[in-house]
Structure formats: structure tokens, C-alpha cells
Amino acid sequence: MTAVAAGGGPARTTRRIPQIADFRTRAEATAGRPLDGTQALHRWSVDSAEEFWRTLLDWSGLAWDGSASTVRTSADVRDARFFPDVRLNYAENLLRPLPDAGDDAPALTAVRRDGTVRRHTRGELRRAARRAGAALLRAGVRAGDRVAALAPNHDEVAVAGLAVAGIGATLSTATPDMGPAALLGRFGQVAPRALVVDRTGMAREGLTADAVLAELVAGLPSVEMVLLLDDDPLPAPGRPAVARLADLVEELPAEVEAEWPRLPFAHPLWVMFSSGTTGPPKAMVHGAGGALLEHVKEHRLHGDLRAGDTLYFHTTTAWMMWNWQLSALAVGAHVVVSEKLVTGPETLWELVAAHGVTVFGTSPAYLQLCQDEGYRPRDAVDLAALRSVLSTGAVLHDWQFDWVADAVGDVPLQSISGGTDIVGCFVLGHPDEPVQRGRCQSLSLGLDVAALGEEGRPVLGEVGELVCRNPFPSRPLGFLDDPDGARFAQSYFTQHPGAWTHGDLVEIGADGSARMRGRSDGVLNVDGVRIGPAEISGVVRRLPEVAETMAVEQQDPARPGSARLVLLVVPRPGAVVGEELSRRIRATLRSQASAAHVPSVVLYVEGLPTTHNGKLSERAARDALDGRPAGNLTALRNPETVAAIAAAARAATAPTAPAGGGGDGERDGEDDGGLGTAVRRVFQDVLGRSVGAAEDFFDAGGTSRQSMTLLRRLRLETGAPLAMEAFLADPTVAGVARALAAPPADRPAVHLLRPGDPALPPLFLVHGAFGDTDSFRYLVERLDVRCPVYGISGTLVRPDGSRPSVVEVASTHVAEVDAVWPEGPLLVAGYSFGGLVAYEMARQFAAAGREPLFVGLLDVRPPGTALRPAEQRLKRLGAVLATAVPGLRVRTPLQAVADVLRRAPRSAEAASEADASGVYEQYRWADYAGPVTFFRVRRRIPVIEHFLSAWRRAAPDLRVVDTPGAHHDMLGERNARTLAVRLASVLRDVLAAG
């Protein structure tokens, strides 16, 4: 060990061939067939999992003995054990000389809190760990004992940890600043024989570090010795014995080093803790072989980490990423650890630059801090060595990918996600796959990872519960204090039999990439809509006033049995909070997410409940909001937040609460749970205060300018247009609700959208799923054709609540068009639902001898009846109607139709919804021989592909034109521009020919 100043790292390596290429060659030899592409290799690794893991063990060159002929003892993830006849030593595998990383290669660089730097070569580190191991043995620690280590992330705890592992003892780590209660909650289960402690940062308010240590030791009767890592004065002698580990090493004869025995593959290596907020933390035991093999797999195959690389992953010893980064030594990489506190956006980037870090791991929160502060690492420091950035711990948002590309540079940003429970990743990076904004590049090799939908079947392109359906080596051996394994089974295996259910939400694409969607126990289900909390926080966090946010479902005090959405917001220092900000939060969510994402209540709090692992605990917040006693407060880093949330919730719901006093809950009153609520919420949003049902908008302070906003929002919220005339006639919540619930006014079904040359055939645009033609506004504005353009409005719900079929709707419109434009050629087009109607109109016109010159289908999905069984399955797979793929999710036809039904009492909604989808799905189309032009959006759900084959079967004269955007926004201002150009071009051809 030598103390040196911070210096430059190795130069950036030139173009490299990823190690996975070499592994693929080996795998192909084993499989006896080519395994081209990421998907093929992953498929094989799952289908032939035993071959995969044996090939990996062989290829990895790890040091082991015994036999690998038995890869796993069963095919059941619940009880399978891997490599029962293999023996190895974790520390030996991390520090043995490697062909390209010998004893002189850099192994560990530690940046101390004071800024000094210490470097260790592999040889130095091995000797230090062996000597420390010998000291432990001499102090009485034996293989199989448990050792707890309490220290910041520095080299000494790494040496101690390697020493513990080397002699076959089991290590559990945490940070000194966690507080005695939380530490006892963890280590009490571990029952360690020895406690390794760095007292730095251990002092707490009113308590010296030694007092905290004494309290801790008093609560851990199993501890026979305390080994200090710091240089502070020794505490007064007592029981148990306290000594400095360094002193014990000093006392050893110069040549003494511990032997590192090879132990069974499943020998317990680590005890780690989940961030459970109910009951005590789960103390999970990880085996040495499973953790090592998983880490080597992830580092070499997914991260392409190797000798010559320098890894810095910002972590603490209380987080699994500490264990994960330590294992990078096994692939020959140089690991940097740091105990410096993050004091600003520059902290970690400066460290990256100073040490030539090639792979930098951090969190979305830190990247967001940098972005918020306007810090641009590429302009501030030299990042020449950096070749990739990893992020984990929370959902990494789309815009953060943009920020990294812009402010960091052209390095892949790999979002990786897994958990302490598997001390590894389910989804992570891949050297061969492109980085897509917001997505993890690939599924973890050998792990049969899937997203299960509501019915427990795997879904693609849709958010589901993350499961792993096959055994994997890094599955924990079990929990401590769980002799019959009941808690272990309960934690992972009850929800989906035969699979490991992790508790995360994920959306997996057909290409194997994935997008994490937050914890599934934090899933919000408000009025039947499943919302990933990350979808909300992702939007709200973009407001400059918002530092942190958490969306939580609360039992609605006013509507027993139903839930409402509460948004907890931690404002930035100096931000002005109150109704104006609440209004803006809601407006932003409504415009950038959906009406379903708009919270009923916004509460401003000083902090969010956070576990010691740094994860937000939705459950703790939910318990506080619902008035339930808190579960395990010691699991939280900031337990005081729970009481603060409960107090804010009480203040917000108290009838005497002054406006803006801590929150702005909805005022009680008559509440039909449907349209009235939606209208009232919009009034309140716009006015910034609550209103009575009969209160006049203008009397309440509303301005005419605000009435524009109000009408716009009413349309977005209720999906129904409200005429200004109708609003002015009764500008109250009740009046608007009545107007919206009333059948549409008698306006001419066929109306001129834009005049044109009456000698030319007119274009008729058929209404969307709301019955109106407003959505065509931008398109018509920009449509450069000389023919007149008409809109056709329609009524999709009869006064008796029944719904006309597509054929009936179309025949009504054919008659209406005949009345306005009785003869001559014509052009028809429709979007989505209206497209189906337009198609049927064309058929009916053709049957009457008046075949339209042009039939335009603006991204129209065929009805269910038109699909072959295989296509039906494909459609269900992609779940096109219920998808939560961002940007593709907003109003599908079914949703749109269903939204119209929000006018009906909620109880009737479920029944009506089936009817509504029936209108679309039950349309039995007939063939149409005339020309049809299909305008296909560019962004679409993989595998669905619009079922153009189905369209071609019905309308063989089909022409396809690509247009930008996704289904829901192809008519929006941005995309309508191009659509108008393409549509006009087709129309001009048609008009010239006709």
C-alpha cells in the first residue's frame, strides 16, 4: 500500500471486441449451432440453462475444483442448488494473478474523505487480505462464523471483507451512520461473532461514536470481539474485547498469511438485507459461487469489463452495489472506492476524471442533480477514458439519456436493474445492443426474465410483474430467522407459482430491451387504472420547484372502498408552494401523462420515507396516509417523514383546514364519482380553489382567459366537447356536468370544415371515437388541396344508451352525405374508429354504384373479427388496447369509446365498456375492391404492425403511406404537418386522375 496523489488513469482503450463474442463462439460449439444475435444467445441460455452455466463456468476461467457435471439439482427456482460438487473461494478468485492482470496490476484505489488517495496492486491487496484473514483467525474467527462490518466505502473495509470471505466466514456490511436501531434490526439477525467497525460518522446527536458503539454491542450479545478500522483512541476496556485490526495484523509475524480454502459453491458468503418496510428487514444469505458466477457473467458479458478497465460505482457498504463492484476484481478490473460525500454535481465526475475511470456507475438521482444544476461534465472535466455510464437504483427517465448524450458524451448509458435479493441484475446493458432512451438493453443471460400481465401470462410491450421463471445461481440460499423457509417462499414464490416474483414492474419489448416501471407494491390502482408511480414522478420531477415526489394511493376518506391518488411533493428550497404549484403539477401531468395520472390531492412535505438502501418506501407513505400504524420505522433512514406525511394528510382533509394549509384536498360535497368529480376538479385546477356545484365560474373569480383553459381541460378530462355557448349559459360545475351529460346538440352531421372548389369531388372526414371532427383541425388547416373538406359528426350512443353498430353508423352517414352531396365522385377518410366507419361507408357507396375515388384510413386497426386466430393471439400478446407503452398509450379506440361512457354512472361502466368495444370488435367487414390508402404511423408497438395483412385480405388494392408520430398523436399539431403533405399528395394524384 502506498499513499499517492490523485493522478491520471490509463488511456482509453482502442476499439475492442466484446468478450461476449468469444463467449458466443464457445456457446455455439456447445450448442452445435449458430447463436447469432442477442436474442438467440439469450434464448439458448434459458432453454439450455445447464449448458449455459456450465459453459460460463468453464469459459470464465475461475479457480475451482471438483466436478461441474451436475449444474443444478432441480429445474425449480424454489429449491434448485447450483454446482453441488464445485468448490471455490471468493477471495481467491478476486485476487489471483490473471494473464492480463498480474500482481502488479492496479486493483483498488481508495479516495478517502480527506481527499487522500491510496492505491493497491492486486498483489498488495491479496497480501493485505490474507494477513487480515490471519489476524481474524488468530482472534478466534472461524470459517462459517458471521462477521458484521460497519464502515464507509474505503479500502480498509474492502480488505476486511476479502479477509472474511477468504477464510470462509460470512460477511454482512452496513454504514456507521444508519443509527443503532436500524443497525440492530439488521445485525441482530446476523448474530455476528465479530464486529468490524470504522467509527467515523457514527456519532449521533448527543451521543459519541463510542456511546453508539456501546449501545450497538449491548444489543448484539453474539459479538465476542470488536475490531476497529479507524485510528481514533480505543474505548475503555470492557467486554467484549476491542482491538484495532491493523494492530492485530502488525503483531503477526512477517510471513504469516491466511490459507484460502476452497469451499462448497453454496458456502454462505454474504448476509444482505432487503428494504422491507413491514416487519424486520429480510436477512438473505448469498452463496459464494452463485454471487461470483453472476457477477463475472454481468461484468464480462454484459458490461464487457476486463483488465485495463477502471470501475467506479458510487455506492455505500449498505447497498448490494458494494458487493457487485468488489467482484469486478475477479475479471481483472481496477476498482475505485470513495468515501467522499457528494457536495455538488461535480463531485463524482471529478473523481471519474482524476482516476481515469472507464466505467462509471451512478444513480438517476445524481444524474438529475447534474442536469438540474446545469453542470456539463464534458465541458468541466476530461472524460477521455470513460467508455460507459451505468445507472441503477431507480427508474432512469428518457430525458436523462438525452442529457447524458449531450452533457457527458457519446458513451452508452446503461440502465441496469435487479436487486439485493439476487445480488445482481435482471435487465442490464449489452455491448452489442444500441442504447434506447429509457430502456435497459437486454435481459440477463441465463435468467428467464418475463413480464407477467394481469392474468399471469407473459406480455410484451406492456407493463407487467417482473418474474424469473427458471433457477439462477445467485438466488439467495434463504433468510436468516426463517427455519422452515416460509418467509422466503412467501416473499418470492406465492404470487406466481414456479417463478421468482421480484416485486418490480417492467415492460419488456420484443427486442429483449426493457423499461423498468417502479416497484409493483407501489403500483397505483386508481379507479381501475394501473399507474406505475414512476410515470408520475417522471413528469412532475421536471418542474423546477420539485425536488422529489412520490405518488401514493390512498383510501379515499370520502368514498369508502375506493382509492384516490395522492402526490407527495418535496419542494426545492425557496420554491413557492401552494395552490398555484398544485395547479401546475396537475396541468403538467394532464398534458404530459394523462388525466388518470392527475392526483386528487397534492401534499407538500419536507422529505419522503427512504430506506437505508436509498430506496423510497411507498408502503410507509401509504400507511401514513391511510392512518395505519407504521410498519418498521427502523428500516427508514428518515422515520420522521412518516409522521409528517400523516400530519399533512390530516391537515388536508380536516374540514376547517385553511386553503393551501399543507395541502389542497377536494372539498366534500355531493359526488357522483364520475363526471361531476371530473368537472369539479377541472374548475378547481383552473380557478386554483375549490368551488361549489352551483357557483358561477366568473363569480368565483374566473376570467374569460381562464375559460379557454377550462374548456380545453374539460375536453381532455371528459373526452367530450363543450360548446362555449353551453358553458356561458350555466358556467357552474353542475351546469357543465349537465351540458356534458346531455345528448349532443342538433348540429348538422355533415359540416364544412374548409371551403374549396365546388367543381372538385369533396373530401369527407369521418368523426373520431367521440363523435366530433375537432381532431382533424390541424390536418385540415394544412391540407393543401383545392377540393372542399367536410367533416361528418356522429352520435355513438343512442339516447337509450345502446350503441349503433359500425354498419349502422356508416349507413346513417351515407344518407347524410347523399343529402348534402347527392351525386358525383367523392373522397372519404377517417381516423381510427372513424376509419372503420369510412371503410364501411365506402363499401356502401360502392354497392350503390358510387365508389369513392379515395378511401383514406388513418392508422385504422382491423376489428377482432377480421383477424386470423394467430393474429388474434398476436394482438393479445401486444395488448394493443391496454398497452402502457409510453407514447403509444394514450387514447386507443376502445379507451376513447370507454371514456365517453364516463358520462354514465360508474356502476354501469363495466357493462357498457364491453358494449363499446363490441361496436369496434364485432364489425364484420366485407371485402372492398376499390383503392384504399392506409396511412401508417411510424411509431407503433412491435409485433402488431397494424395487421396490414388483414387489411389486404379485405381490400387488395391497398396502398401504404408512412407518416410520423404514434397512433394517438398523428393528428396532433406536430405530426399533422407531414400527414397533411402526404395526404394532399395522394389526393392531388387522385383528383388529377379522376
Question: Of the listed pieces 183-191, 390-398, 778-786, 789-797, which binds another protein according to CB under 8 A?
Answer: 778-786
Least separation in angstroms between residue 582's CB and another protein is 12
**Measured CA distances, 951 to 349, 850, 938, 940 (Å):** 54, 21, 17, 17
For the bound state, the minimum distance from the C-beta of residue 781 to another protein, rounded and expressed in Å, comes to: 5
Residues in the chain: 994
Which window, 79-87, 366-374, 518-526, 698-706, contacts another protein (CB under 8 A)?
698-706
> According to CB under 8 A, which one of 25, 67, 591, 922 is a site residue for another protein?
591
**In terms of Cα–Cα distance, which of 93, 260, 288, 268 is closest to 167?**
260
**Number of C-beta neighbours around residue 661 at 10 A:** 13
Residue among 255 and 725 whose Cβ is closer to another protein: 725
Q: How far is the CB of 729 from another protein (least distance, A)?
A: 10
Sorted by sequence, the CB contacts under 8 Å of residue 373 that are 6+ apart come out as: 344, 345
Does residue 699 bind another protein (CB under 8 A)?
Answer: yes
Identify the residue among 243, 405, 587, 820 touching another protein (CB under 8 A).
587
Considering CB under 8 A, how many residues would be counted as binding another protein? 25
Euclidean distance between the first and the last CA atom of the chain, given in angstroms as a whole number: 87
Which lies closer to another protein via its Cβ, residue 627 or residue 748? 748
Closest CB to another protein among residues 98, 587: 587
**Residue of 643, 728, 815, 929 interacting with another protein (CB under 8 A):** 728
CB 777 → another protein: shortest distance, Å?
A: 7
Least distance between another protein and beta carbon 683 (Å): 13
- The window from 293-301, 555-563, 773-781, 949-957 that contacts another protein (CB under 8 A) reads 773-781
Q: Does 981 bind another protein (CB under 8 A)?
A: no
Options 7, 434, 701, 887; binder of another protein; rule CB under 8 A:
701
The answer to whether 569 touches 605, Cβ cutoff 8 Å, is yes
Coil, strand or helix at 778: helix
Report the residue from 73, 703, 865, 922 that binds another protein according to the rule CB under 8 A. 703
Q: 706 to 725, contacts with another protein by CB under 8 A? A: 706-709, 711-712, 724-725
Nearer to another protein, 507 or 664 (CB): 664
Buried b (16+ CB within 10 A) or exposed e, 914-947: ebbbbbbbebebeebeebbbbbbbeebbeebebb
Task: Determine contact, residues 382/353, Cβ cutoff 8 Å.
Answer: yes
Which x/- pattern, by CB under 8 A, does the window 652-691 give for another protein?
A: ----------------------------------------
- Min dist CB 695 to another protein, Å, is 9
* 562, 545 Cβ separation under 8 angstroms: no
Contact between 777 and another protein per CB under 8 A: yes
583's enclosing H/E stretch is helix 579-592
Helices (H), 118-239: 122-139, 155-166, 180-190, 209-218
Tell me the pairing of strands 463-468 and 500-508.
Answer: antiparallel
In the complex, the smallest distance separating the C-beta of residue 107 from another protein, rounded to whole angstroms, is: 51
Going by C-alpha positions, the residue among 724, 602, 721, 737 that lies closest to residue 678 is: 737
Say how many C-beta atoms besides its own lie within 10 A of residue 372's C-beta. 15
CB of 701 to another protein, least distance (A): 5
CB of 973 to another protein, least distance (A): 7
Minimum distance, C-beta of residue 705 to another protein, in the bound complex (Å):
6
Q: Does 143 bind another protein (CB under 8 A)?
A: no
Q: To the nearest whole angstrom, how small is the minimum distance from the Cβ of residue 703 to another protein? A: 6
CB of 529 to another protein, least distance (A): 24
- Mask of contacts with another protein, 845-884, x by CB under 8 A? ----------------------------------------
Q: Is 784 in the site for another protein (CB under 8 A)?
A: no
Q: Does 973 bind another protein (CB under 8 A)?
A: yes
Q: What are the backbone dihedrals phi and psi of residue 414, each rounded to the nearest 5 degrees, phi first?
A: -105, 115
Report helix, strand and coil shares of the chain as percent, to nearest 5.
Answer: 40, 20, 40
Sequence-distant (6+) residues with CB within 8 A of 962 are: 935, 936, 937, 938, 982
Pairwise CA distance, residues 788 & 760, whole Å: 7
Give whichever of 669 and 918 is closer to another protein, judged by the CB atom: 669
Q: How far is the CB of 976 from another protein (least distance, A)?
A: 10
Specify the amino acid at residue 285: V
Stretch that binds another protein, among 225-233, 297-305, 697-705, 983-991 (CB under 8 A): 697-705
* DSSP annotation string for 249-314: HHHS-TT-------EETT-EEEEEE---SSSSPPEEEEEHHHHHHHHHHIIIIIS---TT-EEEE-
Of 244, 584, 667, 754, the one binding another protein by CB under 8 A? 584
Please report, as residue ranges, which positions from 175 to 204 form the binding site for another protein (by CB under 8 A).
none
Identify the residue among 704, 865, 922, 985 touching another protein (CB under 8 A): 704
Only one of the segments 265-273, 283-291, 328-336, 775-783 lies at the binding site for another protein (rule: CB under 8 A); that segment is 775-783
Q: Is 978 in the site for another protein (CB under 8 A)?
A: no
CB of 724 to another protein, least distance (A): 5
Q: Which stretch binds another protein (CB under 8 A): 114-122, 333-341, 777-785, 915-923?
A: 777-785
Q: Determine the Cα–Cα distance for residues 479 and 482; give it in Å rounded to an integer.
A: 6
Give the count of beta carbons closer than 10 Å to the beta carbon of residue 562. 13
Q: How far is CA 208 from CA 200, 205, 240, in A?
A: 11, 8, 19
Q: Tell me the one-letter amino acid at 536.
A: I
Nearer to another protein, 336 or 543 (CB): 543
Which residue in 259, 373, 696, 989 binds another protein (CB under 8 A)? 696
Say if strands 146-150 and 194-197 run parallel, antiparallel, or are unpaired. Answer: parallel
Is the Cβ–Cβ distance between 502 and 467 less than 8 Å?
Answer: yes
Q: Is 592 in the site for another protein (CB under 8 A)?
A: no
- The whole-angstrom separation of Cα 188 and Cα 198 is 19
Stretch that binds another protein, among 314-322, 693-701, 922-930, 945-953 (CB under 8 A): 693-701
Give me the numbers of helices (H) and strands (E) for the chain, helices first please: 32, 38
In this structure, the dihedral spanned by the alpha carbons of residues 477, 481, 487 and 491, taken in order and rounded to 10 degrees, is -60
Among 705, 745, 759, 869, binds another protein (CB under 8 A): 705
C-alpha cell recorded at residue 508: 419488456
Considering just the CA atoms, what is the radius of gyration of the chain in Å? 32
CB of 711 to another protein, least distance (A): 8
Tell whether residue 700 is a contact of another protein (CB under 8 A).
yes
Contacts with another protein by CB under 8 A lie at 584, 587, 591, 696, 698-701, 703-709, 711-712, 724-725, 728, 777-778, 781-782, 973
